């Protein structure tokens, strides 16, 4: 049995309050996080340390990060995660054509945005990149932006994987009308 100190218990209580507020704000089911917290506060604390990696942004434009996050959530086939990504994109005032393009196979995206979509799709699906794609992206955006896009893909995959591992996964097929 895992024992936790009073300070750790306070941190867990604060985290529980935060994720419940997040749940209310986004109408997003956080029961998998609470289940993790209840099963092992220590494991939850490790998970909590990783959560900010999905919000890291220094050089990458918000639109590009949105493309990779939505594309990855769609590949991961997690409807609630995809809906959350759409809601967050809209909250950040990402243009609707970018949201639609990321969800509809790149349709309507500019050539540069389409390259980012193809990059995200290939990485998330674990398939070989077009050999010219990464050099083209690096030339256009630089290594720092590519690093941010890559970490956004990793972070986006973390949530569906955890949900599946804990038995809380829901497929995108249950939410066909995410984009109005």
- pTM as predicted: 0.90
Residue-level pLDDT at 41: 93
Distance CA 59, CA 64 (A): 10
| Residue 24 parent element (H or E) | helix 6-26
Q: Taking the CA of residue 51 as centre, how many other CA atoms within 13 Å lie in the half-sphere pointing to its CB?
A: 11
Residue-level pLDDT at 28: 93
Three-class secondary structure of residue 170 per DSSP: coil
Residue-level pLDDT at 7: 83
Distance CA 175, CA 79 (A): 6
Residue-level pLDDT at 2: 55
pLDDT tens string for the chain (180 positions)?
455 567 878 899 999 999 999 999 999 999 999 999 999 999 999 999 999 999 999 999 999 999 999 999 999 988 899 999 999 999 999 999 999 999 999 999 999 999 999 999 999 999 999 999 999 999 999 999 999 999 999 999 999 999 999 998 866 554 555 555
Residue-level pLDDT at 125: 96
The CA–CA distances, whole Å, from 62 to 92, 130, 173 equal 8, 24, 27
Distance CA 141, CA 158 (A): 25
Can you give the residue ranges of every domain in the chain? 6-53, 56-174
What sections of 27-132 are H helices per DSSP? 31-39, 41-50, 62-75, 79-91, 96-103, 111-125
Residue-level pLDDT at 171: 64
Residue-level pLDDT at 178: 59
**178 closest CA partner among 48, 85, 43, 113:** 85
């Amino acid at each position: 049995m895992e024992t936790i100190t009073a300070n750790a218990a306070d941190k867990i209580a604060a985290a529980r309050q935060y994720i419940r507020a997040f749940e209310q704000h986004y109408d997003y089911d956080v029961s998998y996080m609470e289940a993790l917290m209840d099963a092992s506060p220590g494991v939850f604390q490790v998970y909590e340390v990783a959560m900010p990696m999905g919000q890291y942004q220094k050089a990458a434009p918000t639109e590009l990060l949105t493309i990779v996050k939505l594309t990855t959530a769609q590949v991961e086939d997690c409807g609630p995660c995809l809906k959350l990504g759409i809601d967050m994109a809209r909250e950040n005032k990402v243009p609707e054509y970018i949201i639609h393009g990321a969800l509809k196979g790149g349709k309507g995206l500019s050539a540069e945005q389409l390259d980012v979509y193809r990059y995200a799709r290939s990485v998330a699906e674990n398939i070989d990149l077009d050999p010219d794609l990464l050099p083209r992206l690096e030339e256009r955006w630089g290594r720092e932006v590519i690093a941010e896009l890559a970490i956004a893909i990793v972070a986006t995959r973390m949530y569906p994987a955890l949900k599946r591992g804990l038995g809380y996964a829901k497929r995108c097929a249950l939410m066909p009308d995410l984009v109005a």
